[in-house]
Amino acid sequence: MANVINSYSTIMDRYSSMISQAAAPEAGSAGDQESVNAAAGSFGELLSAQIDKLNSQQVSADNLIADFTAGNTDDLHQVMIAAEEASLSMEMAVQVRNKIIDAYKELNNMQL
């Protein structure tokens, strides 16, 4: 039960951090925008980091499943939570990819 509570707390912490990032005031001047861009890094670096995070979630879930099937762990809840988190992360990544592709197609179809 403690693992479920810890997982719930982790999810709520992530949600709270996303809400606080979205509520942050917009940068007003060009100097502020440059500092925000420098702190955030490039889009490619961000995308690469998120893909690495997705991969680590998938590998972690696979390792937990393998441990469970080998009898090394009895915590089915942790295995199922990890598998579901990995599945949801993959589904979100696919939806983000689809939105990026749609935006690219829309930009290509614009008349100049």
DSSP string, 46-77: HHHHHHHHHHHHHHHHHHHHHHHHHTS---HH
User: pTM score, two decimals?
Assistant: 0.59
Under the banding of pLDDT at 50, 70 and 90, the label for residue 70 is: very high
The ranges assigned to domains in the chain are: 42-112
Mean pLDDT of all residues belonging to the chain: 80
- What is the 8-class DSSP label of residue 110? -
Residue type, 103: A
Model pLDDT for residues 34-47, shown as the tens digit of each residue? 655 555 578 888 88
Q: Give CA–CA dist 90/87, Å, rounded.
A: 5
Q: Is 90 exposed, middle or buried (0-12, 13-18, 19+ CB in 10 A)?
A: middle
